[in-house]
Amino acid sequence: MLGYRVPAPDEAMLISGGRRGLGGAPFRVVTGHGKFVLPVFRKTRFLTLAMCEAEVSEKCVTRQGIGLTVKAVIAFKVGNDHESIVNAGQRFLSDQDQMAILTGRIFAGHLRSIIGSMTVEEIVTERQKLATEVLETSKSEMAKIGLTVDSLQIQSIDDGDTGYIDAMSAPHKAAIQRQAQIAQAQATQASVEAQQVAARNQAEYARQTAVVQAEYNAEVDRAQAQAAQAGPLAQAHAQQEVLAAQTELALRASELRQQQLVAEVVKPAEAEAERIRVLAVADAERMRIQAAAAASHDRVALDRMLIDQLPQIVKEASAGLSGANVNVLNGADGLSEIAAGLVSQGLTILDSVRKNLGGEQGGEAPGAGLALRGQADAKGGRGGSASSSDGPVSID
């Protein structure tokens, strides 16, 4: 619309011409809304309300007489109130760049004044105090020209070639370096200790692993050795059992062979020896009878006849023994009893014949018969059958 003007959000519209503004100001101030302005009769101008910046680099002398170069940055703007806009508009509307120049100069003066009352140590260590004092002292002056300061930052403080700040910081640098070295040494020591602990842990783990591996290998070796020995051991046990069985079989075969030898060789030999002994006894008895018969004159012929027949009787009895089935229960003693029984039987027969002959001829030598009978009883024992305390002997 023709003649309707609207200021930007960060601007203030100043309308001159016509009636005056508030408080007798030579112009009216419009912010945040539009205004109809008559062309030709009214004139509009715009004042920035945006944030501005001013840099200060000022050489100052401290209370100690040491020159310092201080650099600072000031952030400022035109105040939002009507009075500040009017004051700033009257001073900077035609050349708004002058706001930064004037602000820098104002703060440079206040910096020189405040730094001149402080020591280097205070300036270096208390920069915020310096900035606060500068702001406080410049606030009234800035308000008069319609400006407000949002912040003041001290960028750098330089003492040039004097080296005062470096000398002042030397003890702190040395202490810091010492602390840094101590911290580095402690860190190195901690690192070395950690490495040693890690190495010990690794060595311990390796040792435990080696022990476990060795135990496992030993167990595997034992199992393999047992498995390898199982076959030979089983074979050896089997061979041992076979040898034991063969040994027992050989012992039994030896015993059986011994029994066979006794039955086939020893027993027949003992029987033959006993037979020969019996014959010898009979022959001796014959000789004794012959001697007794020779002493009896009236029975010489008869006794000779009986004596001649006695060996034949015993021989016949012993011949019968050779074909008999003899069960000898008590060894050589049994055979002796058999032979004595045969002799006794022969003598008994001889005695019976003599008695019969004596009855027919009316007399005999009783002493001879008793002698024969007594000797037969002594030789035969129980007369006709041989026995002993070890067991009976039978003749089939």
pLDDT in tens, 86-114: 888 888 888 888 999 999 999 999 999 99
Q: Is 9 helix (H, G, I), strand (E, B) or coil?
A: coil
Amino acid at 143: A
Residue whose entry in the numeric block shows the structure tokens 């003492």: 159
Q: How many CB atoms lie within 10 A of CB 84?
A: 21
Distance CA 90, CA 106 (A): 18
Q: What is the CB-side half-sphere exposure of residue 142 using CA atoms within 13 A?
A: 27
Query: What is the structure's pLDDT at 328?
Result: 47
Distance CA 112, CA 151 (A): 18
Instruction: Assess whether pLDDT exceeds 90 at residue 10.
Output: no
Q: Pick the more confident residue, 334 or 96.
A: 96
pLDDT tens track for 170-211: 888 888 888 888 998 999 999 999 999 999 999 999 999 999
Instruction: Assess whether pLDDT exceeds 50 at residue 385.
Output: no
Q: Is 75 helix (H, G, I), strand (E, B) or coil?
A: strand
Distance CA 316, CA 61 (A): 177
Query: What is the structure's pLDDT at 312?
Result: 67
The percent of residues in the chain predicted with pLDDT above 90, rounded, is 15
Distance CA 200, CA 75 (A): 62
∠ CA 138-141-144, nearest 5°, is: 145
Query: What is the structure's pLDDT at 168?
Result: 82
DSSP strand pairing (391-392 vs 147-158): unpaired
Structure-block tokens of residue 59: 């050489």
Distance CA 310, CA 283 (A): 9
pTM (predicted TM-score): 0.42
Structure-block tokens of residue 111: 């910096």
Distance CA 31, CA 155 (A): 35
Q: Pick the more confident residue, 195 or 396.
A: 195
Q: What contacts 24+ positions apart, CB below 8 Å, involve 3-10? A: 3/36, 3/37, 3/38, 3/39, 4/34, 4/35, 4/36, 4/37, 5/34, 5/35, 5/36, 5/37, 5/44, 6/33, 6/34, 6/35, 7/31, 7/32, 7/34, 7/46, 8/46, 10/48, 10/49, 10/50
Instruction: Assess whether pLDDT exceeds 90 at residue 73.
Output: yes
